[in-house]
Amino acid sequence: MNIKQVKALILDVDGVLWRNYEPIGELKDILSVFDKKGIAYCFATNNSSKSVSQNIEKLKSFQLHVNPDQIFTSGKATSEVLKERHPDGGEVFVVGMAGLIQTLKEFGFNNGASNPLAVVVGLDKNITYEKLRIASLFIRSGVPFIGTNADNSFPTPEGLIPGAGSLIAALEAASDTKAEIIGKPQPVMFYQALNYLKCAPEDVLVVGDRLETDIAGGQAAGCKTALVLSGVSTREMGEAWKPAPDLILPDLTQLAKMM
């Protein structure tokens, strides 16, 4: 592919911009290159544990200043899907962090266990057996089972740790029910991002560290894709992926140099 034809970027964050609270490269300088080249960008993350405002604060901690419209999360995408199905909002039972609960609330959905419209499962670092028990019983009773994303793990400086997909898998086993996944590799977030960027898919490069979510999702949305090796997937995995990513790069720094 001709990198000079790229008009905009959809950037994953975990494993691309940072590992937990450790930046990957000089992020301010990297984004400055995109700004100077006139390349628009936004962020699309499967991590549902943080709200848009929390993501903005984390970006600020790396001296990156963006507006809320540039951030797309699996929690936000899930909330928008629920809003389409239940315009008046209502109650949902959440297995997830405060950021997901807050995001759902902003769309009119309160966390509760009386008569939920859905069971919504994301990353939950405070998971308990009681949460799993209640969620499983609701799902077995016929309450829709929605997963924000299916990432089994996510990268930290110490290594890979359990992600939302691990909790979803536990509930799928407990309830004998498959979850409906909203985040990547489903194209929902990418369509939202393309609408913000006002670009055709073929003019946009999706950059991610995970083949089965970032790359597969970008390809499903019709975008160009770049796998960076700073997170989960390896070069060998990328070269074996069909169809192959358009680019395989060490990290976002290398992409900025190519621009």
Distance of CA 149 to the CA centre of its chain: 7
167 pLDDT more than 80: yes
3-46+184-258 is classed CATH 3.40.50.2300: no
> Over the stretch 20-71, which tens digit does the pLDDT of each residue have?
889 999 999 999 999 999 999 999 999 999 999 999 999 999 999 999 999 9
Closest by Cα among 90, 87, 80 to 113: 90
Closest by Cα among 133, 115, 163 to 14: 163
- The residues spanned by each domain of the chain are 3-46+184-258, 81-181
Closest by Cα among 259, 155, 159 to 214: 155
pLDDT of residue 158: 87
Categorise residue 172: left if φ over 0, alpha if ψ from -120 to 50, beta otherwise: alpha
Whether the Cβ atoms of residue 10 and residue 190 lie closer than 8 Å to each other: yes
Neighbours of 50 (CB within 10 A): 23
> Over the stretch 226-237, which tens digit does the pLDDT of each residue have?
999 999 899 999
> Over the stretch 75-101, which tens digit does the pLDDT of each residue have?
999 999 999 999 999 999 999 999 999
| 3-46+184-258 matches 81-181 in fold | yes
Tokens of 75: 């929690």
> Over the stretch 175-194, which tens digit does the pLDDT of each residue have?
999 999 999 999 999 999 99
3-class DSSP state of 108: coil
CA distances for 250 relative to 24, 35, 96, 227, 257, angstroms: 11, 21, 32, 8, 12
Superfamily the domain 81-181 falls into: HAD superfamily/HAD-like (3.40.50.1000)
